[in-house]
Amino acid sequence: MVGIRSYGAYIPRYRMNHNTIFTAVGFLGTFPPPGENAVANHDEDALSMAVAAGTNCQGGMKREVIDGLYLATTSQPYMLRQNSALVATALDLQSNIRTADFIGSAKSGTTALLSAFDAVKGEMSSNVLVCASDCRLSKPGSTQEHLYGDGAASLLVGSDDVIATFEGAYGVSYDFPDRWRASGEKFEHAWEDRFIRDSGYRQFIPEVISGLLKKYNLNIKDFAKIAYPGLYPREHGAIAKRLGADPAQLQDTLLSTIGDTGAASPLMMLVAALEDAKPGDRILVVSFGNGSDALFFQVTEEIGNMAGRRGVKKHLNLKKELTSYEKYLAFRNLAPVDLGIRGEISIRTPMSALFRERRVVLSLCGSKCKACGTPQYPYQRVCVNPDCGAVDQMEDYRFSDKKGVIFTYTGDNLAASIDPPSVYGLVDFDGGGRFWFDFTDCDLDSVRVGMPVEMTFRRRYVDEPSGVHGYSWKATPVSA
């Protein structure tokens, strides 16, 4: 039976209270509801978060079994360069897999998931990793600023050992002009909020849920959890009441703790529902954007194997409040910041070199000596072990999924950084290997020698004149 084999999620460390936004731009007449948004760090974007969620979803699974990766987002860095291929490279998946970008709509997350089910059902693929991620820019003072949050979710679709079987779906598609962004534009446009709510949200979601219930001869009470975006909290409850659903059936929309994560939102809620699910539970998940998709699942006994997974719950408990609205603007590159002469030095990697060294740079792959077993990064021809020195006796060795400890570190206030001081140092990997890394999602006063760290894929730079987004791996405390 085709279904979900595994799940994963990623929520950035920073949270910004809506009052922080109101204090800064409330004079424009924006009155946000109570709550907070998840805010990506200055070195994060939709791709880096997709890699984090995908890593979480894979767990200890062999990467060789994955033969497809679908990426859903409305905030892709590249319009011409396949974003899903970059994510697949960072995850060190095989080159003979199918990759595809699903963009242009907030419901692209469920569209990608449905396409993955079709691929596995049609035996075109065996295991497809679906990553949905969004990190959307909002104009300062806009209603989207306190509505949108950053985050990613990932699901592995297959037919073996599934934790939830895919039972069916129903969808509607409309050219609904609620939000749009033309090619080359930085910010999206939105039509009147009342129009979006009354002509779209309150119409499409009941229509698609009613259509699914009729198609499969189901009752709304048959579901343990019902998940659909809560863009309008009052209307969210009214829709459930019209459908005859009990309030206890409604999955938390995460709107007040993370915000609307766009393409990732329905998958994020699905992951949260699966974290609390029991065998036999039926889960209904619905998206909204240019129409709506409704999918329903039935949880199996395999759900018990997901215990301890770092999903939505653990990420919600690991946070730091971002109290500076000005720092938020700098993170988003919405306010010009002078990084000094050092910040003007170009660090862009030539594309030809990046392609040749893609596994070293993007997949964090080094080598391991076959003669003595010493791991080393970057890839070496001559073993660095002074007692060995074997030549051309190496095999590939991945460091991205290895943990380590800090051997030494430095806090540098002179280095060009949006969030000074820059913290970097040497990491000793579990099982061997040592290399220099930038540290992220940590404060200098919390770093110490011997601190456990793990690897995280991050955006290293954006070279605007050439349109290049550069990525590499950094070290972050394991607790983050």
Average of per-residue pLDDT across 464-472: 91
Q: Which amino acid belongs to residue 231?
A: L
* pLDDT of the residue at 180: 94
pLDDT in tens, 117-134: 999 999 999 999 999 999
Residue 86 has pLDDT above 80, yes or no: yes
- pLDDT at position 339: 79
Q: List the alpha helices (DSSP H) in 69-220.
A: 83-90, 108-121, 143-147, 193-195, 202-215
Helices 233-243, 202-215: axis angle to 10 degrees equals: 30
Q: What is the pLDDT of residue 335?
A: 87
Going by pLDDT thresholds of 50, 70 and 90, the confidence category of residue 477 is very high
Asked if the model's pLDDT at residue 480 lies above 70, the reply is: no
The pLDDT of 94-105, averaged and rounded, is 96
pLDDT of 45: 98
Which domains does the chain carry? 3-331 (3.40.47.10), 399-477 (2.40.50)
> What letter does residue 430 receive in the DSSP assignment?
T
Q: What is the mean pLDDT of the chain?
A: 94
Distance, CA of 258 to chain centre: 13
Distance CA 243, CA 176 (A): 23
Q: Could you give the CA distance from residue 22 to residue 325 in angstroms, rounded to a whole number? A: 10
Mean pLDDT of 437-466: 94
Residue 59's pLDDT is 84
Looking at the predicted structure, is the pLDDT value of residue 30 above 80? no
Q: What is the pLDDT of residues 324-377, one digit of tens each?
A: 999 999 999 998 887 777 776 777 788 999 999 999 999 999 999 999 999 999
Mean pLDDT to the nearest integer, 210-226: 98
Per-residue pLDDT band at 463 (split at 50, 70, 90): confident
Q: For position 440, what pLDDT does the model report? A: 96
pTM of the model: 0.96
The whole-number pLDDT of residue 336 equals: 84
Angle at 313 between CA 309 and CA 315, to 5 degrees: 85
d(CA 439, CA 141): 32
pLDDT tens column, 189-207: 999 999 999 999 999 999 9
